[in-house]
Structure 1
Amino acid sequence: MLRRLTPVLLTLVVVVLGVAALSARPDDGSTRPNADFVVLVGAAGLRWDDVDPENTPTLWRMAEQGAIGSLSVRSAHRPTCPVDGWLTVGAGNFAAWPGARPGGGCPASGVTVERPDAIGANLPDQPSAVAHNQEQLSWGATPGALAESVRCSVAVGPGAAVAAARPFGRVDRYAPSLPENPAELLGSCVLSIVDVGTVDDDDPAVRAAQAREADARLARVLAARPPRSLVLVAGVSDTDSPARLHVAVADGPGWEGGWLTSPSTARSGYLQLIDLAPTVLAVLDKPMPDRAFLGRPAVTVDDRPDDLRAAIEAPADADREAAAQRRVAGWFFTLLAAAQLALAVAVLPLLRRARRLAGPHGPEPVSRRIVAAVELLLVAAALAVPAALLADAVPWWRGDHAGLWYASVTALLVLAGTAAVRFSPGYERTLGPLGAVAGLATLVVGVDVLTGSRLQLNGVVGYSALEGGRYAGLGTVGLGVFVAGALLCGGWLAQRFRRGWRPMVMVTVGGLAVVIVGSPYLGADSIGAIALTAGVSVAAAICSGGWLTVSRLAWATMAALAVTVGFALVDLGRPAAERGSLGRFLAALGDGTGGLTVHRSSSSNIQTLVNSPLTVLALAGAALVWLALLQPWGGLMRLFGIYPAIRAAMAGTGVAVGLGGVLSGSALDVAGAAAALVVPMAALAALRVLDHSTDRTVPDSGRGGGETGVVPPGGPDTSSRGGAAGDGPAAHGAGGGRSAADGPATDGAGDPGETEEPDEPDRPDCAGKETPDGSRADAGVRVPAQPTRPSSDLPAR
């Protein structure tokens, strides 16, 4: 009874660890002081490479004494045109102006601003913009929510009028251009929004002139700012494709120095456009509107370099890296999918000829050199994604030929990783390469997460700040690789222990992985932690043998649900501004807006499924496994029978990546990243198992009847992998005269650490069973029963 309950009890430990990891949030030292007035200054298209002490001296001095950051200007439309950016500022949510975009670019026409009186203004198209966002877009944005949250607001310029207009189109106070002395205008309301122009030209000289004009208008604003005021400067939009990161500066009492950040990014130095409206209300100590804002109030953190040039270079370099990442990522994943498809085709004939026939006639085995070369290619293919992640430690994006530099660095890292695996101890064992590759992949991703996920931010196999989906923690690709690597590591380690200890080993490794994935200041992926918990529970249930029965699946599902409930309760107990994605979704269900989240997730799943190269990787990997590796000649069923912990790890990986992809809206991307690691290793292990599939154990007269040796049919084979008897997966020490299909007690390398207990040999689940005619069902293939003979009776090969 204790052995039956052990996996359940250990999985409960995973639940407790996961919930505890989510509930712990360290103090990051962030501050957000209050002010009496807020002046929001917007310049569409303004980037950090436009800022220097000679051309933009006002903005330079403001950045020296204030807090700075990189602004992601994502809106409900790609690219974010100026009118979309201003509308998003006023909505505090992803919004877009209705109308067609010619050629995918930004429209040239402006917004109609009427002046019915000498005080305010009216936007006649504002009601239609509200209806468009409420009825046709999936974000539920309410343009004008910011203006509705304050008693009075001022707008200067047409762009500012879009941000300051109330939902019915009224602007409280409006000036078409900035007066020479705007002190009285800026002091008339607690919130002023000023449009200082657009920086949009591709010509460097013209662009510099536009930035200089915007800086001169900013100087007049600063000279006339009200007392105890906060001035926010933001490059509120792109001006054309592709998207870029833009300027964000906050200057006011309590905002001296430091980086700008917000809970929506959880990354120092990064802010979203939707964070500006919540920041304004938080600084003015105004209540947030119900269900309107997706952004979170900005705060400052004190880890900025003292030298302003060095500080500004960081966001400018991040912008260059993000731009280069977008160009390189597409062809990298396309080449990876093509390479893995080609390798899968090359493996098929090796699988068909890897299993040696018991009789004297049959096809010649493939050359050992060819098999060894293919094995190294499989190792290299499995290490491609971890190497691509590690390549971002080198600033390849700063060169003139960024793609070539990235390809060179990644290729060198793949070669280095492949060499490390090839010359690692135990490479000749059946599971040696699998354990080494899984360990390297888990180490690379895990160390990156523990050190702040720097390699994933704007990385080719990470996530882009320009996309606005994630800024910290584990990305989609990183989650797939980490989940697969951690579970394979757990399976490899568990296989080296006796059967009764395997659930404990699997849950220990999986529990640590759940903590890393779910912790809000590490992986910060509650959905991934829930999915991984389900995968660990499944793996723990079957790692000691047997099938995934209904009862085992039931308590594995209950464990995942327990983590979900625990995460939800902890997240809902936080203030609304600090909740994660799960807490926000449950709160939306409570107020009736959860359908928008479900709609966005389903739409994202469909778009990702159709457009992502990782979909090809996932489907190709599934086809290779189902149509080849799981066939009687494919070797994977035999591998699973001999090594139940590896079968458990792969089953748990499938459950985890499937749930993680669907629930997070990334379709098969998580599964594709995991397949890039798991499928090559499964093919390699299957090749090695098939290489020993006809080995037979016979009594060794020199050792006594109780011990056995491994002899292939036809006599000893000195060319067999490892070169020694007992090196094949058919070796066991539970008695002589049994075929390999009965289930060996070692992993194929004669490793004493992997020997089973005498009364608990690992028996294949679909192999090694006696049939009525005296033959044995070996992995779905009938093998004629052959009497074992002493090795002295076998003819020499």
Structure 2
Amino acid sequence: MAVIPLVLAVTGSTAAQAAPATPAPTVDYVVIVGVPGLRWEDVSAQQTPTLWAMAERGSIGSLSVQSADQPTCPLDGWVTLGAGNRALWSAAPAAPPNPDNSSGACPDVPVDIERPDGIGAFLPDQRNVVRHNQERLPYGAVPGALAESVRCTVAVGTGAAVGAARPFGRVDRYEPQLPQNAADLLDECVLTMVGVGAVAATEPAARQAQARAADALLARVLAARPPESLVIVAGVSDTDDARRLHVVVAEGPGWERGWLTSASTGRDGYLQLVDLAPTALTATGRALPENVFSGHPARSVPGRPEKLDVAVTQPADADREAGAQRRIASWFFGVLAAVQFALAVAVVPLLRRARMPSAPVVSSSPRFGFHGLVRRASRSARPQPLAVPRPVVNVIEVLLVAAALAIPAALVADAVPWWRTDHPGLLFAAVTLALLAAGTAAVRLTPAYRQTLGPLAMVAAIAAVVVAADVVTGARLQLNGVAGYSALTGGRYAGLGRVGLGVLVAGTLLVAGCLAQRVRRPWRPYVVGIVGGAGVLLAGSPYLGADAVGAIALTAGVGIAAVISTGGWLTFSRLAWATLAGLVVTAGFALLDLSRPDAERDRLGRFLTALGDGTGGRAVQRAAASSVGALDSPLTVLALVGAVLVWFALLRPWGGLKRLFGIYPAIRAAMAGIATAAVIGGVLGGSGLDVAGAVAALTVPMAALASMRVLDHASDRTHPPVAPPSIEVVQPGADPVSGSDQRHEQGGGVRLAAKVLPWNPVDGAINT
């Protein structure tokens, strides 16, 4: 029954189709100029006039240089460029680490280059590099795959030799330095790689000098370039542990005045280092080797500002934001984990004291007088705990609301350019706290806050709306955002990230549970299915969330929540319905993803393709390695703190969560679905406990607050309570209550009648 909305969600996600991109005309030559460490802040019309003029004519973007390790040092960048896949230059024992390096700079690793014939070169360590990448790393990179795909290559400089070497170590044409007359050299082969030096200094003056020197060599390359050629200038690596985005410029026929992008990023103005190899082959009209490259060909798209000085502010700003995000995200989630741990410690004693002794009981026995009304205090064999002062409870409740809204507030805070200031961390903290205070006040001052489920419903709705609005408008808040994902990691550049998925899952299912609780039981599965289907569409549409794995995880959660939203256990028939929903939606997303071009497929389509061609083992290995690597995230701490609080406190007999689930079965269903989706999303997405951590940050504080609320009413009688009596004169005859023919005293009498006060199961309070 709940399958129908989910199927409609998958069908609706296929409605929009992107217009096919017009391919650029092919060229005869490709020249790749590598400048390790070059960033957009180093480029200007005064300091680098050649590169500036080239950028005015061509297309520009930000380059993410993620290799098989971090940071990407120069040799790692060059070998990744030549492999078209994440790789490492590991030629031990020829490249040992420098134990004296404490500055964070990349070590100066010597490369053994032999020149047996004086024309080409031979790298004896290349076989060890290939073996290391094939046997010890999960990416399946083949160093030299780009060179092996063309007839011959030219390399100028040590780094370029590493990038242009074939898998067995041969460099077809090699020069250690760019000759004065380089025209004949660049015209010799279809692919040329040139190293023009690095920009590695930390002092501004020294960086400017290095950038000017590289620009001078670039001028000589452009002067000697062959006709009908594509020249790509790329900052192929970092030079220290300060990971940054780097320069990429493409200039040639069909690459005029645009933004660079590719299917691997899905974001205008962004490329990955692994995209350069397929770009070089596609530009020359050559077919890509199968199952070798992980990148996709770049293309130029319109939309760049006419003035270059305005255009370059965007990649330069993105670089500053990405660098600041890396530093601030760690302490933000670390502080959030510490705050939630402190709140967990504070909530436990409140839960144990929240259930107060029963209220006095009304007795109508005639032996207590004419009115028959006495109040008899309940007695307990053991002393009752002292009540927690109401102001303390109110403060804890407000803090729980604020803790649950922390991630949505941090997401909205990225609408303010805090990274442009001299103290970005302080400004981000100030903006986030201001938004957090506003959101918490809005929840607190709403009349629905007094209801048991009021805070939970409002917080969940705010969180879901924030993530949904960001995804619909292009996910600009998540890109390089503190509560989003970083372009430096090379994992995602558009759509829904790990944290966003967790918040969307929790918000969507909690809203669905609160709405379902307000309708009659037979309608609850449909309410959950409709609300959850909207979330699945948002997450899985390739033009919105673009996360098929997240959509599948949310589908499983929605299916579980729908079938148990009416109460009871997860029986076999209910599990069958939920499994059917999951299979139908998963098949729908799989067919949708497989119907798209290879370059535009999401993780699900790429994984299914890998299974078909026999490389699925590496895909599983990469996902496992990614999950293990994500375990050192502060989000893991959030997940563990939430699990401990739920298992060892909220689910205890005194914890209140079981009572909450008994009174509100739709909320129990929603939280069961949330747990299911968090586990599946983390396992299939290779994100470890990141999704579960984001889920816990929102769900656990609200579960604790709702549990405190139901415990506060735990002494309310669940059977109809007795009201103050009303006096009714009864004439001799039939008893009007029992209907029997029993007689009262001769001459009439007096009887007590009680009024029934209904109990409202929605807000857990007595309607008076």
Fold in common (TM above 0.5): yes
Structure 2 partner of 1:257: 257
Structure 2 partner of 1:60: 52
Residues 249-301 of structure 1: CA deviation (Å, up to 9, x unaligned): 01111111111111101111110000000101111110111111000000122
Amino acid at match of 1:55: Q
Aligned match for 1:49, one of 27, 41, 48: 41
- 1:78 counterpart SS class: coil
Amino acid at match of 2:72: T
**Whole-Å Cα distance in 1 between the matches of residues 725 and 191 of structure 2?**
94
Amino acid at match of 1:653: I
RMSD: 2.1
Aligned match for 1:84, one of 66, 76, 98: 76
Question: 1:307-318 counterparts in 2 under 5 A?
Answer: 307-318=307-318
**Whole-Å Cα distance in 2 between the matches of residues 23 and 185 of structure 1?**
51
**Whole-Å Cα distance in 2 between the matches of residues 615 and 25 of structure 1?**
37
Q: Give the deviation of 1:211 after TM superposition.
A: 0.7
User: Contact 2:722–2:757 at 8 Å: present in 1 too?
Assistant: no
1:266 and 2:262 equivalent? no
Q: Give the deviation of 1:193 after TM superposition.
A: 1.2
Structure 1 partner of 2:646: 625
**Whole-Å Cα distance in 2 between the matches of residues 605 and 437 of structure 1?**
29
1:748 and 2:740 equivalent? no
Aligned match for 2:664, one of 630, 635, 643: 643
User: Contact 1:79–1:105 at 8 Å: present in 2 too?
Assistant: no
Of 74-83 and 552-561, the range deviating more from structure 2: 552-561
Q: Give the deviation of 1:689 after TM superposition.
A: 0.9
Structure 2 partner of 1:588: 610
Structure 2 partner of 1:479: 501
Residues 646-673 of structure 1: CA deviation (Å, up to 9, x unaligned): 1111111000011101111111111111
Residues 698-741 of structure 1: CA deviation (Å, up to 9, x unaligned): 25578999xxxxxxxxxxxxxxxxxxxxxxxxxxxxx987997x
Residues 202-232 of structure 1: CA deviation (Å, up to 9, x unaligned): 1222211111111111111112222221111
Residues 137-183 of structure 1: CA deviation (Å, up to 9, x unaligned): 11110011101111122111111111111111111122221122222
User: Contact 1:491–1:506 at 8 Å: present in 2 too?
Assistant: yes
1:690 and 2:711 equivalent? yes
1:657 and 2:678 equivalent? yes
User: Contact 1:642–1:747 at 8 Å: present in 2 too?
Assistant: no
**Whole-Å Cα distance in 1 between the matches of residues 64 and 725 of structure 2?**
75
**Whole-Å Cα distance in 1 between the matches of residues 520 and 530 of structure 2?**
15
User: Contact 1:32–1:298 at 8 Å: present in 2 too?
Assistant: no
**Whole-Å Cα distance in 2 between the matches of residues 285 and 703 of structure 1?**
95
Structure 1 partner of 2:748: none
Aligned residue pairs, count? 711
**Whole-Å Cα distance in 2 between the matches of residues 651 and 275 of structure 1?**
41
Structure 1 partner of 2:690: 669
Question: Structure 1 pair 176/704, CA: closer, same or farther in 2 (3 Å)?
Answer: farther
User: Contact 1:97–1:129 at 8 Å: present in 2 too?
Assistant: yes
1:180 and 2:189 equivalent? no
Structure 2 partner of 1:21: 13
**Whole-Å Cα distance in 2 between the matches of residues 68 and 421 of structure 1?**
45
Amino acid at match of 1:101: P
Residues 734-793 of structure 1: CA deviation (Å, up to 9, x unaligned): x987997xxx54332579xxxxxxxxxxxxxxxxxxxxxxxxxxxxxxxxxxxxxxx9xx
Structure 2 partner of 1:764: none
Question: Structure 1 pair 244/30, CA: closer, same or farther in 2 (3 Å)?
Answer: farther
Q: Give the deviation of 1:563 after TM superposition.
A: 2.3
With normalisation by structure 2, the TM-score equals: 0.89
- 2:450 counterpart SS class: coil
Q: Give the deviation of 1:30 after TM superposition.
A: 6.0
**Whole-Å Cα distance in 2 between the matches of residues 20 and 121 of structure 1?**
56
Amino acid at match of 1:479: L
User: Contact 1:435–1:488 at 8 Å: present in 2 too?
Assistant: yes
**Whole-Å Cα distance in 2 between the matches of residues 129 and 339 of structure 1?**
46
Structure 1 partner of 2:25: 33
Amino acid at match of 1:435: A
Q: Give the deviation of 1:607 after TM superposition.
A: 2.5
Question: 1:213-362 counterparts in 2 under 5 A?
Answer: 213-358=213-358, 359=378, 362=384
Structure 1 partner of 2:371: none
**Whole-Å Cα distance in 2 between the matches of residues 386 and 702 of structure 1?**
52
- 1:231 counterpart SS class: strand
Q: Give the deviation of 1:390 after TM superposition.
A: 1.0
User: Contact 1:244–1:466 at 8 Å: present in 2 too?
Assistant: yes
Of 575-584 and 42-51, the range deviating more from structure 2: 575-584
Question: Structure 1 pair 57/439, CA: closer, same or farther in 2 (3 Å)?
Answer: same
**Whole-Å Cα distance in 2 between the matches of residues 23 and 578 of structure 1?**
16
Residues 340-360 of structure 1: CA deviation (Å, up to 9, x unaligned): 011111111111111121225
**Whole-Å Cα distance in 1 between the matches of residues 188 and 436 of structure 2?**
63
**Whole-Å Cα distance in 2 between the matches of residues 265 and 475 of structure 1?**
13
Q: Give the deviation of 1:87 after TM superposition.
A: 0.5
**Whole-Å Cα distance in 2 between the matches of residues 649 and 441 of structure 1?**
15
Aligned match for 1:433, one of 455, 470, 487: 455
Structure 1 residues without counterparts, runs of 5 or longer: 1-7, 706-734, 752-790, 792-797
Amino acid at match of 1:526: A
Structure 2 partner of 1:95: 87
Aligned match for 1:448, one of 448, 461, 470: 470
- 2:25 counterpart SS class: coil
**Whole-Å Cα distance in 1 between the matches of residues 677 and 507 of structure 2?**
12
**Whole-Å Cα distance in 1 between the matches of residues 15 and 665 of structure 2?**
35
**Whole-Å Cα distance in 2 between the matches of residues 78 and 582 of structure 1?**
26
Amino acid at match of 1:342: A
User: Contact 2:351–2:655 at 8 Å: present in 1 too?
Assistant: yes
Structure 2 partner of 1:532: 554
**Whole-Å Cα distance in 2 between the matches of residues 187 and 276 of structure 1?**
20
Q: Give the deviation of 1:23 after TM superposition.
A: 7.4
Question: 1:326-475 counterparts in 2 under 5 A?
Answer: 326-358=326-358, 359=378, 362-475=384-497
Amino acid at match of 1:63: A
Q: Give the deviation of 1:474 after TM superposition.
A: 1.1
Residues 625-660 of structure 1: CA deviation (Å, up to 9, x unaligned): 111111221111111111111111111100001110
- 1:198 counterpart SS class: coil
Structure 2 residues without counterparts, runs of 5 or longer: 359-377, 729-753
**Whole-Å Cα distance in 2 between the matches of residues 366 and 203 of structure 1?**
59
Sequence identity (%): 63
**Whole-Å Cα distance in 1 between the matches of residues 117 and 315 of structure 2?**
43
**Whole-Å Cα distance in 2 between the matches of residues 101 and 165 of structure 1?**
23
Query: Runs of 4+ in structure 1 displaced over 6 angstroms?
Result: 701-705, 735-740
User: Contact 2:51–2:215 at 8 Å: present in 1 too?
Assistant: yes
Amino acid at match of 1:367: P
Q: Give the deviation of 1:28 after TM superposition.
A: 6.9
- 1:310 counterpart SS class: helix
Q: Give the deviation of 1:438 after TM superposition.
A: 0.5
**Whole-Å Cα distance in 1 between the matches of residues 676 and 393 of structure 2?**
31
Query: Which structure would you say has the larger Rg?
Result: 2
**Whole-Å Cα distance in 1 between the matches of residues 287 and 32 of structure 2?**
19
Residues 45-81 of structure 1: CA deviation (Å, up to 9, x unaligned): 1110110001100100111111100000010121111
**Whole-Å Cα distance in 2 between the matches of residues 658 and 117 of structure 1?**
59
Q: Give the deviation of 1:567 after TM superposition.
A: 2.1
Residues 447-499 of structure 1: CA deviation (Å, up to 9, x unaligned): 11111111111111111111111111111111101110011011111111121
Amino acid at match of 1:210: Q
